[in-house]
With several copies, the nearest count.
Chain A
Amino acid sequence: MSEERADTGFAVELPVFTGPFRVLADLLLEQKIDVCDVPIAVVTEGFLRHARDADRWSLEEATWFLAVCAILLELKVGRLMPRHEAIDEEDLIGVSPDLAYARSMELAAFRRVTAWIAERLEREALHVPRLAGPPQEFAHLYPDVLEKVTAQDLARIAASVLRPPPVLDLSHVTPIRYTMAEALRAVRAHLERRRAARFRELVADCEERIQVVVRFLALLELYREGAVELRQAETFGEVEVLWEGGA
């Protein structure tokens, strides 16, 4: 996959950057521009428009675009969601779109081969082996197992055999320490005092991203109750919150 062939000629016009998407992608992957400042939906719409206007779809161009967008989305999700393993992001940055394209081809091949594996597993399950071991005439060959075994050893063995299957390891999931009740109280207090606020102000005291998310959910809850009115002048613009609740 050469750079020229993958070059889309597709250009974007965004507040942070105007020019060929290829250049934008490089800037993003080199971390010269923050991925959170790039609305991927807008870029995708632009790409679809560009593709429609062209005479016909270029498979390579589309695949390359998809590979880049997949990386950008994963980066963006990484930025927006709390995550402890910063290393993941570093590794993603190191992935070039061409490599991602190659990997997508590889994955397609692996998906094809899974059908073969599944079929073989199915067919082989019809062969039943004999698991009984030596017949009873050979019982005398079994060792005297208590020769070197203590009560402690036996307990350990029993524990290993009788232990229930391992529970799902959730250590990689960040516990959410912020409650909806706390968020509702904070939003209410602010709005009852000020009657109106921008979302940015409502989360100004938040220390973690997850706290912002919970505040946002609290806001939606208040909206559902009819306690607040929400306004957004433009896509990705500021969200304005007006207090409608009983004073």
Chain B
Amino acid sequence: MTERGELRRDLEALLFVSDEPVPSAELARSLGVDRRQVDTLCEELARSYEERGAGIVLRNVAGGWRLTTSPEAAPVLERFVLASRHVRLTKAALETLAIVAYKQPVTRHQIASIRGVNSDGVLRALIERGLVTEVGREEGPGRPVLYGTTPEFLERLGLSSLADLLPLAPLLGAAEEGTAADGAD
């Protein structure tokens, strides 16, 4: 494989595992090339997806490159997600919401560490539903966004303030996996 081919392969792999737009500068650092070269490679890759009518597209959005599904595949995807992923989505969303509620203010990264998987999509869904919102930024490198629950979240649960959330301590010892699963259904 040519050096250019290897770069394109590595670039595609990087974009594949990322769930948000990756700035050219960051891709350039990972690949050991300059930004301009990254942009050229990304444009090439985007064109090749387009030419072969792929199910994924590569876009330059919000200051970075991001792989996503082709808009034309949306109807099939929606059917697929609703039919077979629904339970998983519910479980993921509940877990994420519980973490935000009890650990707020919390960063995306902290949530992902606790759940063991990237939870950005879920977090976005919770924001869209008005249950979670940005509440500030953490001090320190990158100043990551901090998330917390909204007044609507409290209202939906019939709580007057966060202080009314049930204390976790008594549950930490007793709670079984089974009960968590029940709650997720």
B21 and chain A: residue at smallest CB distance: A129
Chain B interface: which of A26-34, A107-115, A184-192, A219-227? Answer: A107-115
Q: Total contacts A to B, CB within 8 angstroms? A: 262
**A125 nearest CB neighbor, chain B only:** B86
A121: chain B residues at CB < 8 Å are 86-87, 89, 156-157
Q: Nearest-CB distance from B151 to chain A (Å)? A: 13
- Total interface residues on B, CB under 8 Å, equals 74
B124 CB within 8 Å of chain A: yes
Known: A128-B85, A142-B125. A159 touches B17 (CB 8 A): no
- Residues of the A chain whose Cβ atoms lie less than 8 Å from the Cβ of B20: 129
The A-contacting residues of B in range 139-185, CB under 8 angstroms, are 153, 155-159, 164-168, 171-172, 174-177, 179-180, 182-184
Which residues of A (199-227) have their CB < 8 Å from a CB of B?
Answer: none
- B65 CB → nearest A CB, Å: 12
Instruction: Decide if B19 touches A128 in the complex (CB within 8 Å).
Output: no
- Tell me if B183 and A58 are in contact (CB < 8 A): yes
User: Are B81 and A162 in contact, CB atoms less than 8 angstroms apart?
Assistant: no
A130 and B18 CA atoms in complex are apart in Å by 8
**A109-B171, A129-B68, A153-B183 are known contacts. Are A117 and B19 too (CB-CB below 8 A)?**
no
Within A122-158, the residues touching B (CB, 8 Å) are 122-146, 149-158
Nearest B residue to A158 via CB reads B98
A163 touches B (CB below 8 Å)? yes
Which of B84, B89, B118 sits near A118, CB closer than 8 Å?
Answer: B89
**Total count of chain A residues near the partner, CB < 8 A:** 72
Residues of chain B within 8 A of A149, CB atoms compared: 94, 157, 183
Q: Is B11 an interface residue (CB 8 A)?
A: no
Q: Which residue of B lies closest to A164 (CB)?
A: B172
Contacts of A151 in B (CB 8 A): 157-159, 164-166
Residue from A105, A136, A164 in contact with B176 in the complex, judged by beta carbons closer than 8 Å = A105
Please determine whether A128 and B68 come into contact, CB atoms closer than 8 angstroms.
Answer: yes
Tell me, in angstroms, the Cα distance from A186 to B86 when the chains sit together. Answer: 55
Tell me if A106 counts as interface (CB < 8 A to partner B): yes
**0/1 string, A79-116, CB within 8 A of B gives 1:** 00000000000010001000000010111111111101
Partner of A112, one of B77, B171, B184: B171
- Chain A nearest CB from B78 CB (Å) reads 6
> Which stretch (B25-33, B36-44, B99-107) binds chain A?
B99-107
* Complexed CA–CA distance, A53 and B115 (Å): 33
Q: Which residues of B contact A160 (CB under 8 A)?
A: 175-177, 179-180
A176 within 8 A of B: no
A91 CB to closest chain B CB (Å) equals 7
Q: How far apart sit A49 and B168, CA to CA, in the bound complex (Å)?
A: 37
How far apart are the CA atoms of A111 and B171 in the complex, in Å? 10
When C-beta atoms are compared, the residue in chain A nearest to B70 turns out to be A127
With A113-B98, A132-B121 in contact, do A142 and B89 touch (Cβ < 8 Å)? yes
- Given A70-B116, A162-B172, A157-B180 contact (CB < 8 Å): yes
List 20 contacting pairs A-B, 8 Å CB cutoff, sorted by A: A74-B116, A109-B172, A109-B175, A114-B98, A118-B89, A129-B67, A130-B67, A134-B81, A137-B69, A142-B128, A143-B86, A143-B89, A143-B90, A145-B94, A146-B97, A149-B183, A151-B165, A158-B102, A159-B175, A160-B180
Q: Known contacts A57-B183, A138-B77, A151-B159; can you find 20 more A-B pairs with CB under 8 A?
A: A59-B184, A105-B176, A109-B168, A114-B91, A125-B85, A125-B86, A129-B66, A130-B17, A132-B121, A134-B121, A138-B78, A142-B89, A142-B129, A143-B89, A143-B93, A145-B94, A151-B157, A154-B97, A155-B167, A160-B176
